[in-house]
């Protein structure tokens, strides 16, 4: 398969017809062949049979129906303590890319990294740290051509269902990679100190979670309700209720109904 628009944007570009998981493959390659897989190496698959979402959830789609892509980021001297921004940056990059094809519709980000059209998920992002902590692999799966019967849950959607037309996967991928590279370049220029920057403002503006009533499910299965009021200077979601304000770094966030 040819990617004339996308492949020049990567330092290394590989495509496979089918794989279990692009993230798993790119992580293994980056570990075993460090010198051959530098910053902004890209792996794309036409089919993914063992895709994963956050918390180990399975994510699959019919062959040829979706964009499956993983990007290796080695952000130089940025400390690993700042890598929590990268899923948010990837979500912003994909929401910007989808919005380029969506006319008046604006794709948004559900903290920390899902991409929504309206209240429905069109893309999931999974970030995984390299074993030596000197980089991150960011995988994204976008529902492109699926019909309603092909989606696993009622809360999902696809570009096709939403009436968003793209001529090819290459067009969408090129838009994503252009946005991602520009945003990651800013991240590196800030040495990972995103808080208070224009990049921080862009992420906050695109985040559909801010201003919503949410239920936060923590890793120990405890949960609490509140209003998401901000993304703080280290990328955490700030949630306020009548009795307290919490900054959430890890957890599942459920958007509750608008009032």
Residues in the chain: 259
pLDDT confidence of residue 29: 97
Q: What is the dihedral of CA 180, 70, 95, 201, to 10 degrees?
A: -50
Residue 247 host element (H or E)? strand 245-248
What mean pLDDT is predicted for residues 16-38? Answer: 95
pLDDT per residue as tens digits for the range 96-143:
999 999 988 899 999 998 999 999 999 999 999 999 999 999 999 999
Q: Of the candidates 114, 192, 210, 122, which has an alpha carbon nearest to the alpha carbon of residue 163?
A: 122
The answer on pLDDT for 54 being more than 70 is no
Q: Of the candidates 66, 186, 54, 190, which has an alpha carbon nearest to the alpha carbon of residue 126?
A: 54
The answer on pLDDT for 51 being more than 70 is no
pLDDT per residue as tens digits for the range 200-258:
999 999 999 999 999 999 888 899 999 999 999 999 999 999 889 999 998 899 999 76
What mean pLDDT is predicted for residues 73-84? Answer: 93
What mean pLDDT is predicted for residues 23-49? Answer: 95
The answer on pLDDT for 152 being more than 90 is no
DSSP 188: H
DSSP 257: P
Task: Walk me through the domains of the chain, giving residue ranges and CATH numbers.
Answer: 7-204 (3.30.930.10), 210-255 (2.30.30.100)
């Amino acid at each position: 398969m040819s990617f004339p628009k996308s492949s020049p944007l990567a330092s290394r570009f590989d495509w496979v017809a089918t794989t279990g998981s692009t993230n798993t493959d790119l992580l293994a390659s980056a570990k075993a062949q460090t010198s051959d897989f530098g910053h902004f190496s890209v792996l794309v698959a036409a089919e993914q049979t063992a895709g994963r979402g956050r918390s180990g959830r399975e994510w699959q789609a019919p062959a040829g129906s979706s964009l499956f892509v993983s990007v290796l980021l080695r952000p130089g001297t940025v400390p690993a303590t700042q890598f929590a921004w990268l899923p948010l940056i990837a979500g912003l990059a994909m929401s910007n890319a989808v919005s380029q094809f969506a006319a008046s519709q604006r794709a948004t980000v559900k903290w920390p990294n899902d991409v929504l059209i309206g209240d429905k998920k069109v893309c999931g992002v999974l970030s995984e740290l390299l074993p030596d902590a000197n980089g991150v692999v960011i995988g994204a799966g976008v529902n492109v051509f699926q019909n309603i019967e092909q989606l696993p849950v009622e809360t999902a959607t696809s570009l096709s269902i939403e009436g968003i037309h793209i001529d090819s996967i290459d067009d969408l991928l090129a838009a994503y990679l252009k946005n991602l590279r520009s945003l990651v370049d800013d991240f590196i220029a800030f040495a990972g100190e995103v808080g208070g920057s224009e990049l921080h403002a862009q992420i906050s503006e695109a985040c559909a979670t801010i201003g919503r009533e949410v239920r936060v499910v923590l890793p120990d299965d405890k949960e609490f309700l509140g209003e998401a009021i901000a993304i703080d200077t280290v990328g955490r979601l700030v949630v306020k209720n009548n009795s307290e304000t919490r900054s959430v770094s890890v957890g599942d966030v459920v958007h509750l109904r608008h009032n």
